[in-house]
Amino acid sequence: MGVGAGLMGLVGLTILGTSFLSGIFGMAGGMILLGVLLALLDVVPAMVLLGVTQIGSNGWRFWLWRAHVRGRIVLHCAFGMLAMFVLLKIVAFVPDKVTVYLGLGLTPFLMELLPGRFRPHVEMRGMPAVCGATIMGVQTFAGVSGSVLDAFFQSSSLDRKEIVATKAAIQSVGHVLRIVYFGSFAVDAGDVLPPAVLVAAVLLALAGTTLASRVLERMSEVTFRRWSRLLILAIGAVFIARGLAMAF
């Protein structure tokens, strides 16, 4: 796993920058960070480090905006996530990567095509549990699910602070499950990252999230939703391109 100081410095800057990005929009940072980590580390330590970092980022974001969290949505999403987690462990179904990437990429575009009144969102009856189950499945298969999670919030009536705070709470649950899952493999393989690396990652995530809170405070609702939508579609296009490249 030997990663030099220079590359670890790059990882540190990436954690800071992606935590800042996620702190504003509640998504996108995890995907970028995972891409960098997978270029430097094996899958298991990369997933563990991503989980620890994102718990720091999302947990702190949740704390900063805790007054705006919609607790009922978080609770029902957590139920859906746990149910899917158990199901996946029992069924042990793993789709191929091409299917995962194309599915991830097409989801936001398909939701764009739906008339506004038919788009699913987290305030619809039963939808938070569906949202939780969906993002747990996506996170297990592809490592990141921020753009899919955000699709369930775009058509809701929640304001930008409620969206960021509620998503942070939901994602924290998902990253705890990620660490439990991949951490067991890391321990068995003796591929555990040094505690100092994990602590540094969390501190950098906290710093990026804190800086982002000031930007979010000044951002208008219109600007927030416009840039969130553009990020969702851009990420979707990247996933589609990745899936097609792997298929052909």
pTM above 0.75? no
Tell me what the mean pLDDT of segment 126-136 comes to. 87
Mean pLDDT along residues 110-121: 68
Mean pLDDT of 48-73: 84
Domain count, the chain: 1
Q: What is the pLDDT of residue 192?
A: 64
Name the more confident of 114 and 58. 58
Q: Is the pLDDT of residue 190 over 60?
A: no
pLDDT for 196-205, tens place per residue? 777 888 888 8
> Average per-residue pLDDT in the chain?
77
Residue 188 pLDDT > 60: no
pLDDT over 90 at 76, yes or no: yes
DSSP assignment of the chain, as one string?
Answer: ----HHHHHHHHHHHHHHHHHHHHHSSSHHHHHHHHHHHHS-HHHHHHHHHHHHHHHHHHHHHHTGGG--HHHHHHHHHHHHHHHHHHHHH-----HHHHHHHHHHHHHHHHHS-GGGS--TTSTTHHHHHHHHHHHHHHHHS--HHHHHHTTTTSS--HHHHHHHHHHHHHHHHHHHHHHHHHHHHHHT-PPPHHHHHHHHHHHHHHHHHHHHHHHH--HHHHHHHHHHHHHHHHHHHHHHHHHHH-
Residue 15 has pLDDT above 90, yes or no: no
1, burial (CB in 10 Å: exposed 0-12, middle 13-18, buried 19+)? exposed
Domain containing residue 130: 5-247
* pLDDT score of 92: 62
